[in-house]
Amino acid sequence: MGPIQLSGSLTNPEEMGRAVIVKAGGEVETGEGLFVGSRIQWSSLQDGPLSTLRPISAVQVPDPTNPKTPIAPAAAVSTSSVSSINVQTKPIWALDSWKSKKALQLPDYLNQDKLDSVLKTLDAFPPIVFVGEARSLEERLGKAAMGNAFLLQGGDCAESFKEFNANNIRDTFRILLQMGAVLMFGGQMPVIKVGRMAGQFAKPRSDSFEEKGGLKLPSYRGDNINGDAFDEKSRIPDPDRMIRAYCQSAATLNLLRAFATGGYAAMQRVTQWNLDFTDHSEQGDRAI
């Protein structure tokens, strides 16, 4: 194996991602790889599963704002040498990294002490989604990006405190299951079903204020920030709403997990729902 040069998202040890390999002689190969120490376990898109360990001659991360960033030729090194590795690392991410960026949609809380207290309380709560679930979704989304799965996402534009009940959650879940079954059979590939729920409370607004009948008040930004009633008390951002949003999100996910693992999402049940739809609805008659 000759030396290779990596250009893409693989910049951290044990990180998996897509990349472009420029081999000695200028030949370009696209695929995915995994850093293993100073080597990369590499597989082209045509080769199938990861199988080959190759030494890296250089690592170059292109400018994400310029997709035409040139890739320097790979240096000529022996397959046993890794002394010429040059890794360009990304900025270190932290939980508060966002504070260094300009944010246009943050509400103006009047009581900073109350806000800090609520944030401290939330920080002590257990996570709503666990890392294993996030990694599993990331892996499945990778398959969709490669064209080996279909992504279906659905749910409300913004959830509300008023409409929170088990029946609404069940109905949304059921619709996603039905749509997923139709898409799976029609597309002949796995369907990744993602619910826009269990935390979808905030609403970005193009204007920070709205005016009615000569009265100008802060815009409604979602139930986890302020109320939708057009009065001064409702429109004042209230940090305590984030606590309620957390509790509602956790309860929603608990119910969804129960539905998903308790037999409600069984394919036989979903298929029967779809058959009932075609038998007893005008839309079903048109579909047939």
Residues 249-264 as b/e (b if ≥16 CB within 10 A, e otherwise) read bbebbeebeebeeeee
The closest of 149, 142, 136 to 191, measured between CA atoms, is 149
Contact 61, 90 (CB under 8 A): yes
User: What are the start-end ranges of the H helices in the chain?
Assistant: 112-124, 131-145, 166-187, 232-235, 240-261, 267-279, 282-287
3-class state of residue 40 by DSSP: strand
Instruction: Tell me whether residue 157 is annotated as binding.
Output: yes
CA distance 159 to 155: 9
Instruction: Tell me whether residue 196 is annotated as binding.
Output: yes
CA distance 95 to 122: 14
Positions at the binding site: 157, 196
Positions at the binding site for Mn(2+): 157
Positions at the binding site for phosphoenolpyruvate: 196
